[in-house]
Structure 1
């Protein structure tokens, strides 16, 4: 599966700072010190609907991570999946009377268009669950053969008790885990499971649903968590730098994935930091496909909204914060974009060297984009009020805002 085209990232003078970021597993800030190649895995979409602003906010956060690393003169090995076979996709396809493969391809194509418009840097490897099945089957077989998984009526379940470090990603107790498991795709009440929290690794073929040859597992399709584990281990290996996604993935998805990988390899941890973005709400409730309270990136674009303004609207909120989308949020972003573009359109201006360092410092401090935006606001206001004599300043600001914030002026 192919990703989307990369926008050019301008090179800036000097060098950026190492990133300090909040790690869910320790509930504190950690300083990331990757090697020459920083490794990051971000969980992708289940393509049964268009990209909404909750998606966009999450991918914007991890786009900033990439930009901070690139500014430190590192390379970035970024991997993202597409869950192109799963219950929600199959249910939507049946509801709409469309082939599930066609639906997945259509929505994945629209996602690529949205990511391109928002100047999100693409992953080096963009892998669908279906194409990953040949690599998933042997992992499930290994877990089963080692005693870390077991069969129940043809389905294969992972035993969470096989990983002594289970629970260290989310830090939740068993009661909270059980509630969230029921809400987020698990089946804690299924009779016969060794532990209510045990997640499915391989679902035996169901009538009327797609299935694949699973070797000794029989025909079926993979569970949600093992999909990402197989892709991450194949392309990044254990101990990669950041596992990313929305805060609703901390449990069960990232918790289960970590345990799968740790049981397979005997190593800990799967990722050095588990980083989670906040949720975006509309009319007082988290944007959710199940609730239908969504604002789509493609709808805004079709209405003529500049993607740079959409990106500024996202950047105005700290990535870990839960916040609400309103008309005012967009109006503020459009006004800010106009001010910035007016400021850099002049032939000279106040020196921008200090501004570049302010943006770098803000982003290195747990991706504090709102503080970075305020710093650019100050420069733009000074340009408007007093001007300056530095002929290179507007160009420096334009390149810095593009390279570090992903906003094209």
Structure 2
């Protein structure tokens, strides 16, 4: 049975879908597109990717949504600094996001909504909150009244009384309560705006995600995913405004991945201490980055350094020679694969799953079981984790070693030790190295 840690309950729970139709509905908080994607975005993507892969392995159908926040304060600041229209900035960064996304072999989401494409839904949600008395106007802005929602803090565990004005919450004299958050911002000079019943303006950040998730997944859905830095205030505010508007529970499970840190400090665009995703993919490739992230459980923070990624690269290289893209899906060692699947179904335990993979490699080297069966099992586990089968190419060391073996084989043939010569040929063939004996010599290639 699939189990997942729920931030809401602070416990690992047996997963039970909201709907009886077996379809699991997932909303993943996506990028704010004032800048290009970085390693933190890669971690969030890989987390929700393995989540969806494991749900499918467990027999569920999945419908998933990944949003883009393409209008907010940060994007407007970027527009003012660069003198480039916010729509151009957004599109450039979204284009780069998809380059990174496709390189990483992330499963496609079903919908990629943008906040600016859902102004109508946002206005409708704000209107409901005003009508029900959960929101109020202050000048040209509309705010959500936190004190009206008795469950505020139930996700983050924060208490209203403990959130002191000016310490953890931005001071704003226009608010009735310092914890109140903006739903609609009145238009300002040189800023984008839309027309609404409350006047010209633009949406606040939190209301955007509620409107988009409700439109595509319904008023109550299964899983809301994102980084741990979004728990408060973003996800806390989403719950408050959504449940007040609909009168129903919002998301049942809240899945949050840990942060990527650099020298103990959270990596983020606002702090400027980021490693760009595209640059890292050029340096290490998608498989090494995925492997690096899988070595740490998704809920734990990762300390990022090039040394640690290099270590992951070295470990990953041990795995590659044992893989075969054309493996037989149904021909696996049942016990090994069950242990692997059990690890993933136990709160996405990728470190344990990787451990099982390397135990299998050791079994191959020790010739403990049928090698063909173990290689099939390895390739199946590798594919299930979302890794890409890499085209095998000749490298200098491989070429030197094969040439040495071919010279030994030629000596064996001259000495009429054909059994040893054939053994060398067959052992190389198992490793996808194909020998061709020609009249004028021997050639070899690595089979795709």
What is the alpha-carbon distance in structure 1 between the residues aligned to residue 151 and residue 97 of structure 2?
Answer: 35
Give secondary structure in 2 for the equivalent of 1:407: coil
Question: TM-score with structure 2 length normalisation?
Answer: 0.81
Aligned with residue 11 of structure 2, among 28, 31, 34: 28
Aligned with residue 384 of structure 1, among 353, 362, 365: 365
Question: TM-score with structure 1 length normalisation?
Answer: 0.89
What is the alpha-carbon distance in structure 2 between the residues aligned to residue 369 and residue 109 of structure 1?
Answer: 29
What is the alpha-carbon distance in structure 2 between the residues aligned to residue 352 and residue 109 of structure 1?
Answer: 42
Shift of 1:126: 0.7
Name the residue aligned to 1:281: 261
Name the residue aligned to 1:271: 251
8 Å Cα contact 2:357/2:381 also seen in 1 = no
Name the residue aligned to 1:313: 292
What is the alpha-carbon distance in structure 2 between the residues aligned to residue 87 and residue 140 of structure 1?
Answer: 19
Shift of 1:93: 2.6
Name the residue aligned to 1:85: 71
Aligned length: 384
Name the residue aligned to 2:149: 163
Name the residue aligned to 1:41: 27
What is the alpha-carbon distance in structure 2 between the residues aligned to residue 135 and residue 296 of structure 1?
Answer: 33
Shift of 1:74: 1.6
Shift of 1:390: 4.6
Using the TM superposition, name which of 339-348 and 315-324 deviates more. Answer: 339-348
Name the residue aligned to 1:114: 100
Q: Which runs of 4+ in 1 moved over 3 A?
A: 175-179, 345-348
Name the residue aligned to 2:223: 242
8 Å Cα contact 1:23/1:30 also seen in 2 = yes
Shift of 1:346: 11
Aligned with residue 336 of structure 2, among 327, 334, 355: 355
Using the TM superposition, name which of 76-85 and 377-386 deviates more. Answer: 377-386
Shift of 1:182: 7.0
What is the alpha-carbon distance in structure 1 between the residues aligned to residue 286 and residue 94 of structure 2?
Answer: 19
Shift of 1:355: 2.4
What is the alpha-carbon distance in structure 2 between the residues aligned to residue 224 and residue 346 of structure 1?
Answer: 44
Q: How does 1:135-284 map to 2 (within 5 A)?
A: 135-174=121-160, 177-178=163-164, 187=170, 189-214=171-196, 216-267=197-248, 269-284=249-264
What is the alpha-carbon distance in structure 1 between the residues aligned to residue 154 and residue 176 of structure 2?
Answer: 20
Shift of 1:284: 2.5
Give secondary structure in 2 for the equivalent of 1:33: coil
8 Å Cα contact 1:279/1:321 also seen in 2 = yes
Which has the higher Rg, Structure 1 or Structure 2?
A: 2
8 Å Cα contact 2:2/2:58 also seen in 1 = no
> CA RMSD for the aligned pairs?
2.2
Shift of 1:383: 1.8
What is the alpha-carbon distance in structure 2 between the residues aligned to residue 43 and residue 346 of structure 1?
Answer: 33
8 Å Cα contact 2:324/2:379 also seen in 1 = no
Using CA pairs under 8 Å that are at least 6 residues apart, name the structure with larger relative contact order, 1 or 2.
Answer: 1
The question of 1:126 aligning with 2:117 is answered no
The unaligned stretches of length 5 or more in structure 2 are 390-448
Alpha-carbon displacement from aligned partner over 1:168-188 (angstroms, at most 9, x marks no partner): 111112365457x976xx64x
